[in-house]
Structure 1
Amino acid sequence: MADRYLHLTGTAPGRFLARRLGLPQPAPLRRWSPETPRLEGTLLHLTAGSGAGADAGARAQAEAGARADVEAGAGADAGAGAHGGTEAHAGAGTAVGAGSGLAEVLAGVGLPVVGRADRPGAVVLDATGVTTAAGLGDVHAALHPVVRSLAPGGRVVVLGAAPSPDDHHQAAAQQALEGFVRSLGKEIGRGSTVQLVRVPGGGATAQGAASTLRFLLSPRSAYVSGQVIELTDATPEPVTDPAAPLAGRTALVTGAARGIGAAVASVLARDGARVIALDVPGVREELERTAARLGATPLPLDITAPDAADRIAAAAPDGLGVLVHNAGITRDRRLANMPAERWTSVIDVNLDSVLRTTDELLKGGAVTRGGRIVATASIAGIAGNTGQTNYAASKAGIIGLVRSLGPRAAADHGVTVNAVAPGFIETKMTAAVPFFIREAGRRMNSLSQGGLPVDVAEAVAWFAQPDSTAVNGQVLRVCGQSLLGA
């Protein structure tokens, strides 16, 4: 369903009216397409130190660097930008946990990497070396001069370290970055986004962040903002063909006939996967049409069936490289008016079937080593929702599954487990929501608009990447930084 308000505020009279009335002014989001595969402009790489050794001169250097003209840098290729010695430091001489390999990783993002820019398309601030409250001043010094000049639809990624259980000063400083990032995401505007990525120490740090930075610093993450992503120190698998990173892998998507599931199947097929599209027999015709459009294999199957895991394994005799649990139902009613069958059906489809089939497929080796499991949670499972005690419980259960199983699945099977948590996504279901509730859902986020099914699909595809090995046990909200929940 078209967002008429978004269209209206894109006109001169609409912008004037929105400003005068103090109404939200959403910016159209630039999503991935073959014509727009990357952001425009340059990638500004900055560093914040511990603060103890960052004097006023170093901070002034950072501000001056951010304002300087970089015509030569803007025209340079990514490799030259990353290795050309133009990196600006807001705390010179401070050891940084992300290591020198970060420059090489940023060179692979596809944007010219510079240390000075008048109007950058993206900014990466390495704040892993911030260990004191005073050091947070370096974060301000680095970003204060550049956030106003960030291009519309730009990206800001702050790299942090895990808060230390043994150093409460470092823990306080690093946890402060989370509040900083979430707040900046709510005020930056113009379709831009802000994220925090916590990277571990060790030699694999920079390379392990490669897939995450490619995703966050691209149009694929248009509806993801204010998120905190914690990476492990796992070594990423190589990607043979960047244009088709999932080539040679079989991906199964449940609930694939329509909506978000169909979008996930489409993006995975675009990325080279052989897709098996699963949905209930009742929507067989629609499932077959979707599968035919994507060159996928339809699998009409009730995911709650006792033999569901066996039939899935039989449909993928060479094993699954990607397993996406997307099937889900709602049976909304306040708890006082909710009969047992409404509760049981939602828990069975949304949670119990996911637990059961995942256990059986892992135990039987149907998910191959290096495989990816991605489940669908919801912001309802994080923030709760009136009339959805059953649905919210099932989606919160998915979060518990991911956080518990992720580390063990990686250790025992070489498989990562993550989840997406969609917010208000424009689908046939949300189009049927009453007007005022629908408008509230669209506007109550930092981007002041609803997301699209493809936004969720792009996040799933990032989790599914072979070199996303370091991304495990994570729950990514695809909600435009909804005002509901954390």
Structure 2
Amino acid sequence: MPDTYLQLVNSGPTATLAKRLGLPRPAVLRRYTPGAPLVDGPVLVLGRGDDADALARLLSGPAGGMAPGTGTGSGTAETPVLLDGWDLEVHRHPAPDVRYGAVVLVLTAAERPDQLTDPVLAAAGPVKGLRSGGRVVTVSRTATADDAPAVAAARQGVDGLLRSLAKELRGGSTGNGVVLTGDVPVTAPSAVAALRFFLSRRSAFVDGQLLAVDSTAGTLPADWERPLDGRVAVVTGAARGIGAAIARTLARDGAHVVAVDVPAAGEQLTAVANEVRGTALQLDVTAADAGERILEHVRARHGRLDVMVHNAGITRDKLLVNMAPDRWSSVLAVNLESQLRINEALLTSGDFTDEPRIVATASTSGIAGNRGQTNYATSKAGVIGMVRATAPLLVPFGGTANAVAPGFIETEMTARIPALTRQVARRLNSLQQGGLPQDVAEAVAFLASPAAGGIVGRTLRVCGQNLVGQ
């Protein structure tokens, strides 16, 4: 169901009236379309040290430039990798009267809290004048128990800085952070890919999030427009809503897609598969042999499997005191237990070994909880734990497992929520609106890409910086 309020406050006489009355006016988000510019306007890179200089060169470099120390799929940090140059207009110091499309704060060199002061305060003016739909991205290092107290304080301080700044942005602008673990270089494939994702329109509904890059693994694409070229991806729950959007997005990015859903959704499933020029597999994911049947299908039709997207899910909401056993069990069976069985089949098959990717759909309910959803929240929190524990099992093959955690997304399911509750839910995030299935699909496609091999067992929220949870 469309967000009528969003449309009214952004068009015609009702927009003027809303402005006069001081009503909230969420911006219409600029979402990705093929061929769109990476950033709308100049990019300001702030920070001191070699890392800031390296990223400035990356952003401004011509096509075909070479970046040292970007890593390879094998995890080596010294082999130069071809970077398809971004060729952006990059400034290293704020220029008066310039409205920037993005501000990148490189804070990896900070070893005391006071070393954050100059670059952060230098960003204040440019952030105030940020273009509509602009981006602020921090690049920092994770704080650990082994750090000196001052180092840990400075690094952890970036967390609060980024999350608070993201809440201050307006006009559809977002703030997110890339957090490097250990000695991972800023030019590691997954660091580069995460920076590009956060700068682009693909991350329109991702806000206030810090994504850790755990290693130098990963492979940068030859073509950023088709990062999944030649890969084979299975998407469960693909007949409608978020699953259908994931199938379309993976296909747009070059993947061969196998669309999976229950037989009852067969007609819609076939339509989606035909649209993306993929194949359809009618299958109940809770079946004991679901994993084997998926493998049989991909072997016969495509000869390989590279990406497994666990999207199938159901809700059976009730307060726990009114929860019937079948409501509890059915939700865990579909949302979590089926994924564990399918993953086990993939991991023991010997056919899931070429930089494999598992991407699962979690939920903000699994992070912050939600009244009347003890079963659903349990299953989605379980998904977060599952990918964290599964990812290390795939690392020897150049693979990983990660999750996306959607917030309020405009789907058939949320359209059934009572109108007033739905309006409140839409406004409870920094962007003051619900996301679209495409927003979740873009995050899934990023995590499914070969470049994301250094992101290990993480959960990326796609919630517009929902005001509950982290």
Report the TM-score, using the length of structure 1 for normalisation.
0.86
Deviation, 1:432, is 1.4
Q: Which amino acid aligns with 2:124?
A: H
Q: Which amino acid aligns with 2:445?
A: A
Question: Structure 2: how far apart are the matches of 1:385 and 1:307?
Answer: 32
Does the aligned pair in 2 maintain the 1:181–1:196 contact within 8 Å? yes
Deviation, 1:407, is 2.5
- Find the partner of 1:168 among 149, 174, 179: 149
Deviation, 1:19, is 4.2
Question: Structure 1: how far apart are the matches of 2:388 and 2:35?
Answer: 37
Matched, 1:381 2:366: yes
Matched, 1:155 2:135: yes
- Find the partner of 2:389 among 397, 400, 404: 404
In structure 2, do the counterparts of structure 1 residues 399 and 457 end up closer, same or farther at CA, with 3 Å as the change threshold?
Answer: same
Does the aligned pair in 2 maintain the 1:323–1:367 contact within 8 Å? no
Does the aligned pair in 2 maintain the 1:156–1:194 contact within 8 Å? yes
Q: Which amino acid aligns with 1:47?
A: G
Of 214-223 and 164-173, deviating more is: 164-173
The residue number in structure 2 matching 1:281 is 263
Deviation, 1:202, is 4.0
Question: Structure 2: how far apart are the matches of 1:274 and 1:290?
Answer: 13
Question: Structure 2: how far apart are the matches of 1:464 and 1:17?
Answer: 44
The residue number in structure 1 matching 2:243 is 261
Does the aligned pair in 1 maintain the 2:228–2:254 contact within 8 Å? yes
Question: Structure 2: how far apart are the matches of 1:154 and 1:284?
Answer: 41
Matched, 1:133 2:113: yes
Q: Which amino acid aligns with 1:439?
A: Q
The residue number in structure 2 matching 1:113 is 90
Deviation, 1:12, is 5.7
Secondary structure of 1:320 counterpart: coil
Of 16-25 and 126-135, deviating more is: 16-25
Matched, 1:226 2:208: yes
Of 345-354 and 25-34, deviating more is: 25-34
In structure 2, do the counterparts of structure 1 residues 109 and 343 end up closer, same or farther at CA, with 3 Å as the change threshold?
Answer: farther
- Find the partner of 2:309 among 319, 324, 329: 324
- Find the partner of 1:340 among 303, 317, 325: 325
In structure 2, do the counterparts of structure 1 residues 108 and 35 end up closer, same or farther at CA, with 3 Å as the change threshold?
Answer: closer
Question: Structure 1: how far apart are the matches of 2:62 and 2:352?
Answer: 40
| CA-to-aligned-CA distance 1:172-213 (integer Å, 9 cap, x gap) | 111111111111111111100001111135475413311111
In structure 2, do the counterparts of structure 1 residues 191 and 203 end up closer, same or farther at CA, with 3 Å as the change threshold?
Answer: closer
Q: Which amino acid aligns with 1:342?
A: R
Gaps of 5+ in 2: 51-55, 66-76
Question: Structure 2: how far apart are the matches of 1:264 and 1:214?
Answer: 20
- Percent identical pairs in the alignment equals 49
Does the aligned pair in 2 maintain the 1:267–1:461 contact within 8 Å? yes
Does the aligned pair in 1 maintain the 2:406–2:462 contact within 8 Å? yes
Question: Structure 2: how far apart are the matches of 1:479 and 1:238?
Answer: 27
Deviation, 1:249, is 1.1
Deviation, 1:402, is 1.4
Matched, 1:39 2:39: yes
Correspondence 1:87-102 to 2 at 5 A: none
Question: Structure 2: how far apart are the matches of 1:82 and 1:244?
Answer: 17
The residue number in structure 2 matching 1:295 is 277
Deviation, 1:330, is 0.3
| CA-to-aligned-CA distance 1:103-153 (integer Å, 9 cap, x gap) | x97x84453222244111011111011111211212432312211111110
In structure 2, do the counterparts of structure 1 residues 370 and 168 end up closer, same or farther at CA, with 3 Å as the change threshold?
Answer: same
Count of residue pairs brought into register by the alignment = 443
The residue number in structure 1 matching 2:73 is none
Question: Structure 2: how far apart are the matches of 1:175 and 1:354?
Answer: 34
Question: Structure 2: how far apart are the matches of 1:131 and 1:18?
Answer: 46
Gaps of 5+ in 1: 51-72, 84-98
In structure 2, do the counterparts of structure 1 residues 273 and 31 end up closer, same or farther at CA, with 3 Å as the change threshold?
Answer: same
Deviation, 1:21, is 4.3
Question: Structure 2: how far apart are the matches of 1:310 and 1:438?
Answer: 40
Deviation, 1:164, is 3.0
Secondary structure of 2:447 counterpart: helix
Q: Which amino acid aligns with 2:45?
A: H
- Find the partner of 1:477 among 453, 457, 461: 461
Q: Which amino acid aligns with 1:212?
A: A
Deviation, 1:22, is 4.1
In structure 2, do the counterparts of structure 1 residues 37 and 275 end up closer, same or farther at CA, with 3 Å as the change threshold?
Answer: farther
Secondary structure of 2:111 counterpart: coil
Question: Structure 2: how far apart are the matches of 1:463 and 1:305?
Answer: 27
Secondary structure of 2:451 counterpart: coil
Question: Structure 1: how far apart are the matches of 2:63 and 2:335?
Answer: 47
Question: Structure 2: how far apart are the matches of 1:260 and 1:463?
Answer: 16
The residue number in structure 2 matching 1:443 is 427
Question: Structure 1: how far apart are the matches of 2:64 and 2:169?
Answer: 26
The residue number in structure 2 matching 1:368 is 353
RMSD: 2.5
Question: Structure 1: how far apart are the matches of 2:278 and 2:314?
Answer: 23
Question: Structure 1: how far apart are the matches of 2:258 and 2:355?
Answer: 18
